Amino acid sequence: MPQRSLAAPPARPPHDGPVTALQLADRILAEAIKDGGAMLAADRIVAGDPTTAVTGIATVAMASIDALRAAVAKRCNLIVSYDPIFWSDDDRLDHLKGNRLFAIKRDFIRAHGLVVLDLHDRWQGGIDTGMARLLGRERYRRSAGHPCYELPHTTLLALATAIRTTLDDRTLRVVGDPALLNGAADVVLCGYSHEWEAVEYAQDMIATGAKKGMLLLGEAKSVDGGIRYCATWLSTIVHEVPVEHVPALEPYWCLPWHGATGQTRERPT
């Protein structure tokens, strides 16, 4: 809720009242571009009243109900979210006419005076940096600005195990030979990819004897380190209010393996 008059005299300095979501959004988006973010970005305020006085900022991988509740508990009302809030890339609302969950989420945002800023396109480099820091591999980056890393000797299995532990990623999936050694190998890490495109391209490369691997971490775990880093970065450009990171929850659980009667072609390694 706005806590000061919108009709402030123009001569007064801009920061003598509570800082608003719009002021902070403008600053965040401008500074993210200075830091190398994409110019043609669609990042914007996607929910809430931009004139709201901000009490604190929470950075989240995705503005899920869980994340919004956690932000409220931390007394943060400006939510900086990497992924959409209304379940589509561009937060389209035309499909959601009459949707019950949309109404519940919107009412929650209104009731708690939240404002949600989508910071996606401008934060791609920030995701790389934050994930590299979290996984302790900044020093292995091949060259600045490129998300390519030359790691010490390891195997695909050891890499997957280390990543699961560091990120607490329960549902990580891997394409390739667990015994694959790096050095000759190239491994791609990603969040999600369609299972008829890059996944099968990797599979076909391996089927021709190429030494390749692919790890699919799930979107939440693949970006959360970058959003944690976003909170650190924001605290260097926002001094009026506290900045917090709300860790992402993995949406899924996995079954333990009990064997199958289904048709498979198993070749234990």
Partner 1 sequence: MDPNALLRREVLAGGVAAAAVPTRGVPAPAAGPLTAGAVIERMQQRIGVPWNGWGVDGFKAGAPETVVRGIGTTMMATFDALKSAARQGLNMVITHEPTYWSHPDTLTDLQHDPLYLKKLAFLRAHNMVSFHFHDNWHALKPVDGIDYGTQQLMGWTTYMHADDQRLFTLPPTTLGALAADFQQKTGARTIRVVGDPALPIRTVYESWGYCSAFPGISFLDKADVLVIGEAQDWDLIAYAQDLVALGEKKGLIVLGHVKSEQWGMRYCADWLKRFVSEVPVRFVPIIEPYWNLDHLILEIETEV
Q: Closer CB to partner 1, residue 54 or residue 228?
A: 228
User: Which of 217, 170, 165 lies closest to 193 in space, CA to CA?
Assistant: 217
Judged by CB under 8 A, which of 31, 121, 186, 200 binds partner 1?
A: 200
Using the contact rule CB under 8 A, the part of the chain among 26-34, 36-44, 203-211, 227-235 near partner 1 is: 203-211
The answer to whether 154 contacts partner 1 (rule: CB under 8 A) is no
User: Which of 33, 2, 35, 32 lies closest to 20 in space, CA to CA?
Assistant: 2
**CA trace torsion 173, 179, 182, 183 (10° rounding):** -150
* Shortest reach from residue 53's CB to partner 1, in Å: 27
* Shortest reach from residue 140's CB to partner 1, in Å: 23
CA distance 125 to 117: 18
Residues 160-199 that bind partner 1 (CB under 8 A): 160-161, 164, 171-179, 191-192, 194-199
User: In this structure, are strands 186-190 and 243-245 parallel, antiparallel, or unpaired?
Assistant: unpaired
The answer to whether 260 contacts partner 1 (rule: CB under 8 A) is yes
The answer to whether 95 contacts partner 1 (rule: CB under 8 A) is yes
Q: H helices within 61-181, ranges in order?
A: 65-73, 100-111, 124-134, 156-167
Question: Could you tell me the CA-to-CA distances from 2 to 52, 113, 194 in Å, in that order?
Answer: 5, 9, 43
The answer to whether 268 contacts partner 1 (rule: CB under 8 A) is yes
The answer to whether 153 contacts partner 1 (rule: CB under 8 A) is no
Using the contact rule CB under 8 A, the part of the chain among 2-10, 121-129, 134-142, 154-162 near partner 1 is: 154-162
Judged by CB under 8 A, which of 24, 60, 77, 83 binds partner 1?
A: 83
